[in-house]
Amino acid sequence: MISQYNKVKKYHIDICANNEEQARTTFDDVYDILEEHEKKLSKHFEWTKEVIKNKKTGSKLKFRTSNAKTKDGGRPGKVDFDEYHQYEDYKAIQVFKTGLGKKAHPRTTITTTNGDVREGPLDKMIDKSKQILNRTIKDNGLIPFICKLDDEEEVKDKKKWDKANPSLHKFPVLMATMEKEYIDYLDDPISNSSFMTKRMNIPKGNVDKEVTSWENILATNKPIPYEMLEGKTCVIGIDYAKTTDFVAAGLLFKYKEKFVWITHSWVCRKSKDLPRIKAPLEEWASPEGGELLTFIDGPEVPPETPTNWLLEMSKKYNLTILGIDNYRWTLLRKALNDAGFDTDKKGANNVKLTRPSDQMLNYPIINRAFTNHNIIWGDNPLMRWYANNTCLMPEAHDNYSFGKIEPKSRKTDGFMAFVAAMCVAGDLEDSGEVIEIDDLSFGVYTY
């Protein structure tokens, strides 16, 4: 594209990556070819370790990184992203692309393996690509080419490895390396999970800590039957670590043997952790993002805020029992008492203060629901983010409770509210069960 065969002069190409070593990889491959054929190619190109330039067109090939001091001001004709999975948000991506359009025929290329960053730019690009390939949306100029196994079981058949690595049969050394990596993966899938993630493009995550697989989390993306749930019985879950941070509340229904979760979160604008968080919270708070959360401008999220949301929901649904962590109840007690929730056995007695032992008791139920794809959150990237930030905490006698992978930048409040609701869902009736009168046989008796 920088040669004289491209008639656009000064059609610069930027190779972009999250770090210099990765950004240099493709650039150095081109550089090495020029060095190897210096006598012939020096007639057309001049090059250094930093830039390759076509003498006739003035077009340059350069590499750029996320920590480059000067990112703006470029006028590339083409931007190449290498290992796109490393980006946690769109900040650097947008900076790299701002110069596109100033040259004719602008292009963007993305080449990447899969990675461990969930709900980031790559996951969204994969989802969009699948929709294009399934012809559910227009391509808008994007040509997706996805190479991966269709499911984990296919890894057992080495002939199918080519699905994730189309040129594998041309590189026997690579094949031999992957065969050794596969043996290591079979011996220790936890320590060698990158074999599936990067070689086969099947995200595995840290299977010794994750609540469930990413595929199971994605399976929660099914439409919530709002109309069918109106007037139906549900239980409630609330969780937060600090009211100066995140607060989440939700309603849990059982509908046709599936657990349906309707939820909302509130985020304090003054939270000290916000600068650490890479997730697109502003997008999720916008109408376009589903208004999954609300930012609170005050010093904290007032206890009345989630309580008022529950009161509003009670106009549509039959709210029954509230599950909340034993140590979270005190701060919200007055507001919830005023709304009709209390722990007094002589009063409403509709609040259960949950403990780690309740989580241990309900973990098998939650795990089974995930495994059988019996959880519905709707298209809720915030809940998927919460769940992916949660880890399993081994307890005595092969039990598990839930914890945080990283407390500052990876919040779990929404998922823990879901867990609190699951802890009080034992007697929750299935709102989707329909009893047909015709199917009931009533005897006729005469007295």
Domain layout of the chain by residue ranges: 12-134, 152-200, 214-423
Q: What mean pLDDT comes out for the span 402-416?
A: 90
Mean pLDDT of the chain: 90
pLDDT bin (cut points 50, 70, 90) of residue 159 is very high
Q: Is 323 exposed, middle or buried (0-12, 13-18, 19+ CB in 10 A)?
A: buried
The pLDDT value recorded for residue 289 is: 92
- pLDDT confidence tier of residue 99, bands split at 50, 70 and 90: confident
What integer pLDDT is reported at residue 437 of this predicted model? 46
Residues 328-374 have pLDDT tens digits of 898 999 999 999 998 877 777 899 999 999 999 999 999 999 999 99
User: May I ask the CATH architecture of the domain 214-423?
Assistant: 2-Layer Sandwich (3.30)
Cα–Cα distance between 117 and 235 in angstroms, integer? 32
Q: 55 is written with which tokens?
A: 């003498």
Token code pair at residue 360: 């241990």
Of the ranges 70-84, 138-152, 333-347, which is most confident? Answer: 138-152
Give the tokens for residue 422.
């699951």
pLDDT of residue 118: 79
* pLDDT tens digit sequence for 218-237: 999 999 999 999 999 999 99
Given a cut of 90, whether residue 312 has pLDDT beyond it is yes
Of 67-81, 373-387, 389-403, give the lowest mean pLDDT range. 67-81
**Tokens (6 digits) for 79:** 């931007």
Structure token pair of residue 439: 């199917």
For the chain, give the percent of residues with pLDDT over 90.
69
pLDDT of residue 68: 46
Using an 8 Å Cβ cutoff, are 158 and 172 in contact?
Answer: no
Beta strands in 382-423 (DSSP E): 390-395, 399-404
H-helix or E-strand spanning residue 391: strand 390-395
Q: DSSP label at 210?
A: B
Dist. CA 52–CA 30, nearest whole Å = 9
Assigned CATH for 12-134: 3.40.50.300
Is the confidence at residue 106, as pLDDT, over 70?
yes
User: Residue 91: pLDDT band by 50, 70, 90 thresholds?
Assistant: confident
The answer to whether the CB of 332 falls within 8 A of the CB of 307 is yes
pLDDT value of residue 432:
83
pLDDT at 67: 60
